[in-house]
Amino acid sequence: MSLKRLSALILLCLALAVPALALAQGARTYAVLPFKVNSEKFQYLGKGAQSPVSNRLTWMGYFEPVDADKVARAGSRFPANVTEAQSLMGAIGSDYLVAGNLDFQDNDKQINITLNVYDRKGQSWSKSSKVPLEGLLPALERLSNDVRSEVFKRPGEDAKAAERKEVRQAVQSRVPVPRNADFVAGDTGEAPVGNTGGPVMNPQFRYEGGAETPGRWQSQSLRFASVNMVVGDYVGDKKNRVIIAGTNVIYAYEFFQNTLKPLGEYKLGMRIKLLRVSLLDLNRDGKAEIIASGLDDPDGNATPRSFILSFNSGKFDNFMPPQKMHLSVVRTPPTNQPTLLGQAKGSHGPFDETGVSEMLYQDGSLQPVRKLNLPSIANLYNFSYVPEGNTFKIVVLNEYNYMKVFTADLESQYSQEDGYNSSNNYVIVDERLPGMDMGTRDTGVEDFYYVPIRMIPVSFDSRGKYELLANKDISVASQIFKKFRRFSLGEVHSLFWDGVGMSLAWKTRRIKGTVVDLALEDLKNEGKKQLVVCINSYTGAIGASSEKTVIVTYDLNTDQ
């Protein structure tokens, strides 16, 4: 090889090496300290939270973590201010220092996460998030992403967030909204669809209003606390009435002269605890049977027990013997018609691990006809189908009442961390439920599974765009007892699938009390459906014995 060619080859190698050398020299370093934890019980999470944050921040060639032995130089020191952080960065040898704090609250059930980032120039960045214990890892991931985009200025992070926002806004602008100026599209403060210059807002869907505000009706207080409610024709005269379930009593009412008129009650016995009440015309005679599903001996060896009743001549009758299984009514594809579903008790928990079955009433008995194809975390009470063109989504509330969305093929598409449809209605669990979505939570054996209230798929226009009505949990009562989980406020949200996640189409104003059930029926028998909400009055953390039931309706005016 000639000297000239050798020189050219050396120059080429140097040219290729220089960018890599510059990249390596340009990489800045950061150190993530073990998180500071205020709970003796969860001290191990100090290092447990450190690792995922450090991994998430890594950007090879640009931002890289220092070696573990360098982080160890900090010992137990934790910066209280920028000056102390700069001192620690000098000892560790990093360009950035990440110091996090886990502040456990509400008897270790809630965590206030704070993430502080410092650099050698004395600049600092801080952000916090309050989540339940099971939401720790997703929250750490979100905060780490914020550091990447806001502190490290990683290219593409802002663009991705903006792109997701644009997609949501574009899809939301096409969401069918009932032809009623009382509705607003989402919660953005924009003018309602169809604004023609007249009265444009139903106060119950936007502003605060009193009990007598037009578009809203409120019943008298009923002297018991409810666990469920359903509206339909169980008399057979083409008129709707309401069934309200107490702990172990079923009450029948009808709307009469602007109040709820009692029609009768049926006591199931002190050993029974109701979980869900439904209506369905099993024998096709023109009136619905009342299906009350619950537990026998709920505080002992609880066994599912479902009562199927009819209402004749002002009194309840047994339509068929009690069934030793959970029963509920859900609208199922492809017809989206109400369907009776059943699930037996499991060998390791309250729900049969083999899943939920469609049930058929024939010759005086119920028989399973097919298994539903559902996600493993679904049970009889916690899911709903949302039709979407020729297919559908499956929306499931996991055991923390977080909403998860699956395709018809059970592909997971979306998961959020806002609580929806929580209730104080629980099932005792002796051990971990197989298939339940436990995530990475490490809190030992769960004692209770809280049965969520029902979600309602609805379509307000001829194009068949479906939305999902659900109650948004606003304020958690003081949880003095482990079984005690009530809410002082709620909002009914209408959610729709926007191609990325579940977005808000409209909502009610805040409802004072614990929402225990929803319905979309013509309770007043005026030819127009109302949003019907069953509420337990909120009397404080230790006032459960004073709870009263109230029914509230909201006029939808979808035919205007």
Which DSSP category does 284 fall into? Answer: -
* Region 492-505 average pLDDT: 87
- Quickly state the pLDDT bin for 298 (edges 50, 70, 90): confident
- Tell the residue number behind the tokens 């009743």, with chain if given: 309
Residues 393 and 493 in one domain: yes
Contacts of residues 159-165 at CB distance under 8 Å and 24 or more positions apart, as own/partner, are 164/500
Domain presence at residue 481: yes
Q: What backbone phi and psi angles, to 5 degrees, belong to 21?
A: -65, -40
Q: Which of 155, 190, 206 is the last residue of a domain?
A: 155
Q: Which of 133, 155, 177 is the last residue of a domain?
A: 155
- Quickly state the pLDDT bin for 136 (edges 50, 70, 90): confident
Q: How far apart are CA 335 and CA 322, in angstroms?
A: 29
Whole-number pLDDT of residue 60? 77
3-class DSSP state of 214: coil
119 or 18: which leads in pLDDT: 119
270 or 131: which leads in pLDDT: 270
Residues 357 and 448 in one domain: yes
Q: How far apart are CA 511 and CA 83, in angstroms?
A: 48
Q: How far apart are CA 451 and CA 343, in angstroms?
A: 14
Residues 256 and 141 in one domain: no
Residues 504 and 530 in one domain: yes
Whole-number pLDDT of residue 2? 52
- Domain residue limits at 43: 24-155
Whole-number pLDDT of residue 482? 44
Q: Which of 97, 122, 155 is the last residue of a domain?
A: 155
**pLDDT over 70 at 354, yes or no:** yes
The tens digit of pLDDT for each residue in 441-492 reads: 344 444 688 899 999 999 876 667 899 999 987 765 434 444 556 677 888 9
Residue 102: strand pairing partners: 37, 113
pTM equals 0.64
Whole-number pLDDT of residue 108? 83
Whole-number pLDDT of residue 484? 52
Find the helix packing angle between 136-150 and 45-57, rounded to 10°.
Answer: 40
Whole-number pLDDT of residue 433? 46
> How many CB atoms neighbour CB 402 within 10 A?
20
Whole-number pLDDT of residue 226? 94
Whole-number pLDDT of residue 44? 84
Residues 425 and 533 in one domain: yes
- Quickly state the pLDDT bin for 301 (edges 50, 70, 90): confident
Residues 217 and 295 in one domain: yes
**pLDDT over 60 at 367, yes or no:** yes
Domain presence at residue 252: yes
Domain presence at residue 371: yes
Q: How far apart are CA 473 and CA 452, in angstroms?
A: 11
How confident is the prediction for the chain on average, in pLDDT?
Answer: 80
The tens digit of pLDDT for each residue in 61-86 reads: 788 888 888 888 888 889 989 999 99
Structure token digits, residue 350: 């309250």
Give the CATH number, domain containing residue 216.
2.120.10
Would you say 530 and 519 are in contact if contact means Cβ atoms under 8 Å apart?
A: no
**pLDDT over 90 at 340, yes or no:** yes
3-class DSSP state of 24: helix
Whole-number pLDDT of residue 131? 84
Region at 248 (left for phi over 0; alpha for psi -120 to 50; beta for the rest): alpha
341 or 450: which leads in pLDDT: 341
Whole-number pLDDT of residue 438? 45
Domain presence at residue 409: yes
Residues 205 and 333 in one domain: yes
Highest mean pLDDT among 5-9, 49-53, 320-324, 535-539: 320-324
Read off the amino acid at residue 243: I
List strand residue ranges (DSSP E) for 420-510, in order.
Answer: 426-428, 448-450, 456-459, 466-476, 487-497, 502-507
Domain presence at residue 161: no
Residues 59 and 182 in one domain: no
Whole-number pLDDT of residue 142? 82
Counted domains in the chain:
2
Residues 146 and 289 in one domain: no
Give the CATH number, domain containing residue 131.
3.40.50.10070
**pLDDT over 50 at 246, yes or no:** yes
- Quickly state the pLDDT bin for 431 (edges 50, 70, 90): low
* Region 240-259 average pLDDT: 95
Whole-number pLDDT of residue 541? 53
Residues 215 and 336 in one domain: yes
Whole-number pLDDT of residue 480? 40
**Which of 313-317, 475-479, 503-507 is predicted least confidently?**
475-479
**pLDDT over 60 at 9, yes or no:** no
Whole-number pLDDT of residue 289? 97
Counting Cα atoms < 13 Å in the Cβ hemisphere of 235 gives 16
Domain presence at residue 336: yes
**Which of 217-231, 314-328, 486-500, 536-550 is predicted least confidently?**
536-550
Whole-number pLDDT of residue 295? 94
Would you say 136 and 109 are in contact if contact means Cβ atoms under 8 Å apart?
A: no
* Region 114-141 average pLDDT: 86
The tens digit of pLDDT for each residue in 152-200 reads: 877 655 555 555 455 455 554 455 554 443 344 454 333 333 333 333 3
Domain presence at residue 65: yes
Structure token digits, residue 419: 């609580």
Residues 397 and 464 in one domain: yes
**Which of 92-106, 279-293, 380-394, 528-542 is predicted least confidently?**
528-542
3-class DSSP state of 46: helix
**pLDDT over 60 at 384, yes or no:** yes
Whole-number pLDDT of residue 427? 85
Residues 474 and 544 in one domain: yes
Domain presence at residue 7: no
